[in-house]
Amino acid sequence: MRSSLLSVLCVSLFAGCGSSGPPPPPEGIVIVGQIIRGGKPLELKNAEIGVETLEIAVVPADDRNAANTEYALASPDGSFRVEGPGRGVAPGKYRLAVFHRNDGVMSDGLNGAFSEKSSPIEFEISEDQVGGEFDLKTIDLDEVAKPSEDASEATEE
């Protein structure tokens, strides 16, 4: 009787131990693109050893979800790939932040012009794109930083 009770107890204890960890993250969309300035990649000194880097952040447009920001480092030619938590970024509205880490991890050679709060680069990913790539194409920071002609005309009137 005692050994059968011990057997039942052992089986009960080990019954829930068969899981292999947390469930995989939900499938999302991989974001790709290229950042340039003035028609060419930003100069990154000794990028191969991380002296200067171009950091990309995909920030949910809804600031309440800032904890869901995903980061990536661009290659020396400015191309980047943001994979999110392993399977892509969730559908939604985002802002693309860009930092030129030219003098340490807290520096920004772009002076905050493309930070999480001030970047003018916004995009939206729809549910039907899940499982694929979302290509932001080539983004010239000098072009997106310029005020629109409509805005300048409105201030002149």
Segments making up each domain of the chain, as ranges = 30-156
Average pLDDT over residues 2-14: 48
Residues 21-33: tens digit of each pLDDT: 777 777 899 999 9
Interatomic CA distance for residues 102 and 93, integer angstroms: 29
Model's pTM, two decimal places? Answer: 0.76
Q: How confident is the model at residue 19 (pLDDT cuts 50, 70, 90)?
A: low
What distance, in Å, lies between the first and last C-alpha atoms of the chain?
94
Domain 30-156 has CATH 2.60.40.1120: yes
Q: Quick check: 39 and 143 in contact, CB under 8 A? A: no
Q: Spell out a b/e string for 42-65, using b for 16 or more CB atoms within 10 Å of the CB, else e.
A: bebeebeeeebbbbbbbbbeeeee
Residues 40, 42, 46, 50: what is their CA dihedral angle, to the nearest 10 degrees? -130
User: For 81-119, how does the pLDDT look when each residue is reduced to its tens digit (9 = 90+)?
Assistant: 999 887 899 999 999 999 999 988 899 999 999 999 999
The structure tokens 């012009």 sit at 113
Q: What is the DSSP letter of 103?
A: S
